[in-house]
Structure 1
């Protein structure tokens, strides 16, 4: 194996990981009751030791998880990844396909439940684990709190349970978002509005990114989005942000309904989510084995990070999913 700062790493990625995704990951579709068509993906070994369900973050397509799926497959896990409604190859929800938009955050949660049901049909007896990132962490928390499930353990990576609002107080940011969403519904109910300063997808140079220290992994992510323009997504709309704030509050309030052990992987240098929100969340969980592991110095995208940050995160995931690892 090559480290991500080795010139051979990109060759390894293009010659090993991308062919694995093409040849060993199936594409599936699921139509929801409101007519939205979801895409989800499944690596299906014959006798897996378990099934890992990946719940991505905002703007993320399943394509972004090719390396992680490959690595989980090396440990003989079946792996499923969902393209959330409004992103990836799933149906978009606005007149502008670049809008990061949602009508009701609860739709994400119920979509996840429907995908889990479908995946379970393939593996009705193997242990199930949930791995969620950022926005997916809020979705996963609400899913675990609200739905009956067979998930045995969960890992939430940089979960969106609270966000940083820069130099503006959170109450002011929320008021601005909710007010904008209300005006949008009144004056343009069928055409969502971007939040202030948000635009359609644009290629952000590595030197301007705040998500990862790994130039190689960042390049692979951007190349995949350039080669598949259908998965490109721009900034969030007023309503997405309003729904996100409501979802974060709900996830904190409903945390005491989550019965399984949860590992929160925290990025020490995160500039997107509020790490203090993770302590509040874990303190309310039922299972006392739940814990927080902070990866010091890591940026928000733990599984796109440089190996010095990513490998400890991956090792923690693999240990957590082993029997009795959380005890």
Structure 2
């Protein structure tokens, strides 16, 4: 007899958040498997998995800049309860993976494509050997950039994917857009070692009021507390090199969109002030022009962190994600 997973609406809710995180989510977290693999240039990349829930289907969560899989414990709990095995990794230069600069709070990367290569190594060496019939991918923000490029270059691996507020462009003032990348390149050349881009600083916990990430105070406070209790996870602003590498990668997403054959769902946060929402629309149009399957859904009123937003926004974002994945599922025997 097959046990059916809970319905979509049976997701973690803010009014029981503390009890969930201290109870069943914490119990699941204690059952995690963790490991390391060597990415590009032998950088140690950390990963986590929750297996034994479904031998046929797994979701790979690709997180954003400054994040760690430690931050996604509530999401992992929700996905496992919906009947999936779950995998995630910490990108080079952040989380528990090796840092790339002397300043451990600097968000730095040598080449953005290294993120994509690391993800490929993770899938090939850690995920695929499990023998799943179907693989799904959920990429958020910078993780959406990495996911987009991975799908364009590895078209036959992932069955369906969801992009949550993907970084297909960065929200930069109109007058700065033409000069942002060349300015970052010049700044990098002037720096003796990797350092912050103009206006960027090391990590500091921004107050909840007027934060650009989420309207959920309880979720916001939880991940800020996590970074205080586990300070090695802290990452501040990006380096000058990361800025121009990130801008170039976002452009590559637009130019390579037509190579993606995986059915996509793109979730846009209407009140996002971090990502350029117009670039997401250009990505969607590029896929449509190539006759690719890309659904576009706007979460009205939501800020950037759709997966950490208030229930009003997070629940429909996750419900749409799960519905998208279920469309491809193989019925249980």
Partner of 2:91: 84
After superposition, the C-alpha distances for 1:267-306 in whole angstroms (9 at most, x for unaligned) are 0100011111112112222454311100000000000000
Residue 34 in 1 paired to residue 34 in 2?
A: no
Question: Does structure 2 retain, via aligned residues, the 8 Å contact 1:260–1:287?
Answer: no
Residues of 1 paired with 2:155 and 2:260: CA distance? 10
* TM-score (normalised: structure 1): 0.92
Partner of 1:221: 223
Q: Which runs of 5+ in 1 are unaligned?
A: none
After superposition, the C-alpha distances for 1:23-75 in whole angstroms (9 at most, x for unaligned) are 2x111110125121000110002534511001100000001111111111011
After superposition, the C-alpha distances for 1:68-118 in whole angstroms (9 at most, x for unaligned) are 111110111011011000000000000110000001001000000000112
RMSD between aligned residues:
1.7
After superposition, the C-alpha distances for 1:183-208 in whole angstroms (9 at most, x for unaligned) are 33xxx1xx201011211111111114
Match of 1:202 among 201, 204, 210: 204
Residues of 2 paired with 1:46 and 1:158: CA distance? 28
Match of 1:3 among 5, 13, 27: 13
Partner of 2:279: 277
Q: What is the SS of the residue equivalent to 2:238?
A: coil
Residue 110 in 1 paired to residue 110 in 2?
A: no
Residue 170 in 1 paired to residue 180 in 2?
A: no
Question: Does structure 1 retain, via aligned residues, the 8 Å contact 2:261–2:293?
Answer: no
Residues of 2 paired with 1:150 and 1:79: CA distance? 16
Q: More deviation in 269-278 or 14-23?
A: 14-23
Q: From the superposition, tell whether residues 46 and 73 of structure 1 become closer, same or farther in structure 2 (CA, over 3 Å).
A: closer
* Structure 1 residue 168: Cα displacement: 3.7
Q: From the superposition, tell whether residues 163 and 2 of structure 1 become closer, same or farther in structure 2 (CA, over 3 Å).
A: closer
* TM-score (normalised: structure 2): 0.91
Residues of 1 paired with 2:13 and 2:155: CA distance? 40
Match of 1:12 among 9, 20, 23: 20
Question: Does structure 2 retain, via aligned residues, the 8 Å contact 1:45–1:76?
Answer: no
Aligned pairs for 1:151-190 (under 5 A) are 151-166=158-173, 168-184=175-191, 188=192
Q: Which runs of 5+ in 2 are unaligned?
A: 1-10
Residues of 1 paired with 2:30 and 2:115: CA distance? 26
* Structure 1 residue 250: Cα displacement: 1.0
After superposition, the C-alpha distances for 1:194-231 in whole angstroms (9 at most, x for unaligned) are 01121111111111411000000001111111111111
Q: From the superposition, tell whether residues 287 and 64 of structure 1 become closer, same or farther in structure 2 (CA, over 3 Å).
A: farther
